Amino acid sequence: MIGVTTGIDMLRIERLTKLDSTIKARFMVRVFTARELAECAGRDSSLAGHFAAKEAAAKAFGCGIGAIGWQDVEILTGVQGNPVLYLHGNAAAYARQSGWFSWSVSITHTAEFASATVTALFDQN
């Protein structure tokens, strides 16, 4: 039987915009991979969307960030401009252990907020 799990998160973009530059620099390299940082090119709305997607993935796992690391969840742009979720390290191991075999991510923005949803299919056997 196939199961479905979903995680959702929303972030006020201003939280990134108003961070002290020293704190923000440390935060960025701790949370985002080099490829994510390159793709987002310093755009706080994009970074907020990626952050929300990472949180949504952790919620879909049911474990939150901590059991999996920030950089274990990577959000990159697909061929058609869509966000694509890549799992590394503990997140990839957790996905295998949980029977995840397919997943998708959706990110949206307004002027104030970034929101993301991650949905995964898993084998319940």
The residue whose two tokens read 């923005």 is 109
pLDDT digits (tens, 9 = 90+) for 76-120: 999 999 999 999 999 999 999 999 999 999 999 999 999 999 999
Residues with active-site annotation: 59, 109
pLDDT of amino acid 70:
95
Average pLDDT in the 65-71 region? 89
| Total domains, the chain | 1
pLDDT of amino acid 125:
72
The residue whose two tokens read 């799990």 is 5
- Residues 53 and 7: their CA atoms lie apart, in Å, by 9
- Residues 95 and 87: their CA atoms lie apart, in Å, by 8
Average pLDDT in the 11-20 region? 95
pLDDT of amino acid 124:
85
Q: What CATH number corresponds to the domain at position 25?
A: 3.90.470.20
Average pLDDT in the 45-68 region? 92
Decide: helix, strand or coil at residue 75.
Answer: strand
Tell me how long the chain is.
125
Q: Cβ(60)–Cβ(122) under 8 Å? A: no
63 DSSP assignment: S
62 DSSP assignment: T
Tell me which residue range forms the domain holding 103: 2-123
pLDDT of amino acid 67:
82
